[in-house]
Chain A
Amino acid sequence: MKSHDKGSLLTCCLAAALGLVLAASPVLAADKAVKIGNVEPLSGPSASVGVQGKQAREMAVEEINAAGGIKSLGGAKLELVYADSKSDPTVGVTETERLINTEKVNLMTGCWNSAVTYPATQVAERYGIPFVVPVAVRDTITERGFKNVFRVAAKDSWWVRDQFRFLKDMQEETGTKLKTIAFVFENGDWGTGFAEKWRELAKKDGYEVVLDEPYPSTATDLTPVVTKLKSANPDIVMLVSNAADAILLTNTMAEMQVKPKVVLASGGGHADPKFLENTGDTAYGIFDEVEWNTDVNKPGAKETNAKFKKKYGYDLTGESVDAYASMYVIADALERAASTDPAKVREALASTKLSTGPAMIVSYDGVEFDKDGQNKNAGIVIVQVAKIDGKPQRVTVWPKSARRAGYTPVFPANK
Chain B
Amino acid sequence: MTAVIQATLNGIMMGSMYGLTALGLTLIFGVMKVINFAHGSLLMVGMFSAYWLIKLTGIHPYLALLIVPPVLYVFGYYLQDVVIKPVFKAERQTREPATVIIVTTGVWYVLDNLSLMLFGAEYRTVRTAISNKSMALGPYILSIPKFSGFVIAVLATIGLALFMRKTKIGMALRATALDREAANLMGIDQYKVYNIAFGLGTAIAGIAGCVLIPFYYVYPSVGVVFDIRAFIIVVLGGLGSIPGALLGGLVIGLIESVFSQFMASTWTEAIIYAIFLIILFVKPSGFFGNKQDW
Contacts and interface: CB of A to CB of B under 8 A. Distances in A.
A16 interface: no
A256 interface: yes
Contacts of B264: 213-215
Interface in B195-240: 215-217, 219, 225-226, 229
A256 B217 contact: no
B157 to A, nearest CB: 19
A241 interface: no
B265 A247 contact: no
A243 B222 CA distance: 14
A225 B260 contact: yes
Contacts of A280: 127
Contact of B132 (A224, A231, A255): A255
A187 B269 CA distance: 13
A interface bracket (residues with beta carbon within 8 Å of B): 20 to 34
Contacts of B260: 224-225, 228
Contact of A255 (B11, B18, B125, B215): B215
Interface stretch (B1-9, B80-88, B92-100, B274-282): B1-9
A223 interface: yes
A215 B132 CA distance: 21
23 contacts: A215-B264, A216-B266, A221-B14, A223-B14, A224-B10, A224-B11, A224-B260, A225-B260, A225-B265, A227-B6, A227-B10, A228-B3, A228-B265, A244-B219, A247-B125, A247-B217, A251-B215, A255-B132, A255-B134, A255-B143, A256-B141, A256-B143, A278-B217
Contact of B265 (A213, A230, A255): A213
Contacts of B146: 223
Interface of B: 2-3, 6-7, 10-11, 14, 18, 122-125, 127, 131-134, 141, 143, 146, 215-217, 219, 225-226, 229, 256-257, 260-261, 264-266, 268-269
Interface string A197-239: 0000000000000000111101111011101101100000000
B123 A243 contact: yes
A220 B10 contact: no
Given A243-B123, A256-B143, A251 B261 contact: no
A377 interface: no
**Residue from the set A213, A214, A221, A228 with the largest chain B CB neighbour count within 10 Å:** A221
A257 interface: yes
A228 B6 CA distance: 10
A243 B125 CA distance: 12
A250 B260 CA distance: 19
Given A227-B10, A231-B3, 8 more contacts: A213-B265, A223-B143, A224-B257, A227-B6, A251-B132, A256-B143, A274-B123, A280-B127
Given A231-B3, A247-B125, A224 B265 contact: yes
A358 to B, nearest CB: 36
**Residue from the set B122, B132, B266 with the largest chain A CB neighbour count within 10 Å:** B132
A223 B149 CA distance: 15
Contact of A218 (B11, B225, B256): B225
A224 B123 contact: no
Given A248-B217, A255-B215, A278-B217, A227 B7 contact: yes
A414 to B, nearest CB: 16
A224 B266 contact: no
Nearest to B122: A274
A220 B257 CA distance: 11
B37 to A, nearest CB: 19
B265 A257 contact: no
Contacts of B219: 244
Interface in A241-278: 243-244, 247-248, 251-252, 254-257, 274, 278
A216 B14 contact: no
A216 B217 contact: no
A257 B141 contact: yes
Contacts of A243: 123
B10 A223 contact: yes
Contact of A278 (B123, B261, B268): B123
Nearest to B144: A255
**Residue from the set A223, A255, A280 with the largest chain B CB neighbour count within 10 Å:** A223
B2 A231 contact: yes
A282 interface: yes
A213 B268 CA distance: 13
Contacts of B11: 224
A54 B269 CA distance: 45
A224 B215 contact: no
A257 B140 CA distance: 11
B217 A221 contact: no
A213 B267 CA distance: 11
Contacts of B257: 221, 223-224, 227
B292 to A, nearest CB: 33
A216 B260 CA distance: 12
A224 B226 contact: no
A274 B219 CA distance: 12
Contact of B134 (A228, A247, A256, A278): A256
Nearest to B268: A224
A214 B132 CA distance: 24
Contacts of A231: 2-3
The 5 A-B pairs with the shortest beta carbon distances in the complex, nearest first, are A224-B260, A231-B3, A278-B125, A223-B10, A215-B265
Contacts of B14: 220-221, 223
Contacts of A216: 265-266, 269
A255 B149 CA distance: 15
Given A223-B10, A227-B3, A244-B217, A282 B132 contact: yes
A110 B261 CA distance: 47
A84 B132 CA distance: 48
A224 to B, nearest CB: 4
Contacts of A251: 125, 131-132, 215
A227 B261 contact: yes
B61 to A, nearest CB: 15
A257 B269 CA distance: 26
A241 to B, nearest CB: 12
Given A227-B7, A244-B123, A244-B217, A257 B134 contact: yes
Contacts of B132: 251, 254-255, 281-282
Contacts of A247: 123, 125, 217
Given A215-B266, A257-B141, A278-B123, A220 B225 contact: yes
